[in-house]
């Protein structure tokens, strides 16, 4: 049955899961006609409701920009989602696990915008020229879909699994750092969980930023000064459970730890 589903109902279903801290099956099982443009309309509606509830946009994120993440999730198309102030986590404080369904953490290179960036036709060079700061980040993702199983339209509607983020304190000038060559070593619960460089993200986090600007432009939007851009997980995400300790050590962007 697809007739009963529409953008409003899907937005309510996803936000209810978030507020009630429970998962659900993929929307596309009940609404097989959900396509990518309609999924972004659902995402936009959930953002509208967050903002009318008093939240503020702090930036955007890209999802599924690395082969490691694409392979792990079985979806090979990058996507964008919104970040708001309600998702900001306090650095150094334990992750508030009761707020999340089945959270996972992933290390990312974060670009902080100095200038407005609007597509179409944005190149990685244009994108980097609009960046004021480069920082390290750990994103907490928390799909509203059971066992993180979804199709591309599902995960787009679900705001790219956005749930939380923490930002590193080391600030670098984009002109002084090769973002593609920046290294990251991830440890989970005292053991190695992988390593990568910025090149894992579409060849360069600058390419991810350009993609985001060009993609947002198709929906009449631009990336604004001051926004954070989480450019995508460098490595597959690791689960956060009681007692977890996840540490990301970056080459020149410092170190970030999340405990739960």
Site residues (CB under 6 A) for ligand 0L1? Answer: 61, 63-64, 69, 73, 139, 141, 143, 148, 155, 160-161, 232-233
Look at residue 154 and give the partner it binds from ligand 0L1, Mg ion, none, a contact being a CB closer than 5 to 8 Å depending on partner kind. Answer: none
Look at residue 231 and give the partner it binds from Mg ion, ligand 0L1, none, a contact being a CB closer than 5 to 8 Å depending on partner kind. Answer: none
Nearer to ligand 0L1, 80 or 244 (CB): 80
Look at residue 143 and give the partner it binds from ligand 0L1, Mg ion, none, a contact being a CB closer than 5 to 8 Å depending on partner kind. Answer: ligand 0L1
Contacts for 176 with CB less than 8 Å, ≥ 6 apart = none
Least distance from ligand 0L1 to the Cβ atom of residue 226, Å: 21
Which tokens belong to 135?
């920082």
Question: How wide is the angle at C-alpha 237 spanned by C-alphas 209 and 225, nearest 5°?
Answer: 25
Beta pairing, strands 245-250 & 255-259: antiparallel
- Collapsing DSSP to helix, strand or coil, 186 comes out as strand
Least distance from Mg ion to the Cβ atom of residue 200, Å: 12
Q: What is the DSSP letter of 201?
A: B
Least distance from Mg ion to the Cβ atom of residue 184, Å: 13
Nearer to ligand 0L1, 59 or 63 (CB): 63
Pair 15, 101: CB distance under 8 Å: no
User: In whole angstroms, how far apart are CA 10 and each of 28, 32, 57, 78, 255?
Assistant: 10, 12, 21, 21, 38
Which tokens belong to 24?
């659900």
Least distance from ligand 0L1 to the Cβ atom of residue 160, Å: 4
* Percentages of the chain per state (helix, strand, coil), in multiples of 5: 35, 30, 40
Half-sphere exposure of residue 129: CA atoms within 13 angstroms, side-chain side: 7
- Which member of 60, 81, 95, 139 binds Mg ion (CB under 5 A)? 139
Nearer to ligand 0L1, 74 or 121 (CB): 74
Nearer to ligand 0L1, 114 or 194 (CB): 194
Residue number with the shortest CB distance to ligand 0L1?
A: 63
Least distance from Mg ion to the Cβ atom of residue 61, Å: 6
User: Where does this chain bind Mg ion (CB under 5 A)?
Assistant: 139, 233
């Amino acid at each position: 049955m697809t007739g009963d589903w529409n953008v409003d109902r899907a937005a309510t279903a996803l936000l209810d899961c978030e507020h009630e801290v429970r998962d659900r099956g993929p929307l596309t099982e009940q609404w097989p006609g959900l396509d990518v443009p309609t999924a972004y309309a659902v995402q936009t509606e959930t953002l509208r409701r967050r903002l009318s509830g008093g939240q503020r946009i702090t930036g955007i994120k890209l999802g599924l920009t690395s082969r490691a993440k694409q392979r792990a999730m079985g979806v090979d198309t990058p996507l964008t989602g919104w970040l708001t102030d309600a998702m900001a986590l306090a650095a150094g404080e334990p992750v508030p696990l009761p707020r999340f369904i089945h959270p996972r953490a992933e290390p990312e290179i974060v670009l902080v915008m100095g200038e407005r960036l609007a597509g179409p036709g944005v190149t990685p060079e244009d994108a980097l020229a609009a960046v004021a700061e480069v920082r390290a980040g750990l994103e907490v993702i928390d799909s509203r879909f059971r066992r993180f199983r979804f199709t591309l339209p599902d995960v787009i509607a679900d705001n790219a699994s956005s749930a939380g983020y923490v930002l590193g304190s080391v600030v670098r000038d984009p002109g002084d750092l090769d973002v593609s060559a920046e290294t990251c070593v991830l440890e989970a619960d005292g053991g190695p969980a992988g390593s990568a460089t910025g090149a894992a993200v579409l060849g360069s986090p600058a390419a991810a930023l350009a993609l985001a600007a060009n993609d947002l432009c198709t929906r009449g939007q631009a990336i604004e000064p001051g926004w954070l851009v989480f450019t995508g997980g460098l490595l597959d995400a690791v689960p956060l459970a009681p007692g977890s300790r996840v540490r990301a050590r970056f080459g020149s962007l410092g170190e970030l730890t999340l405990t739960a």
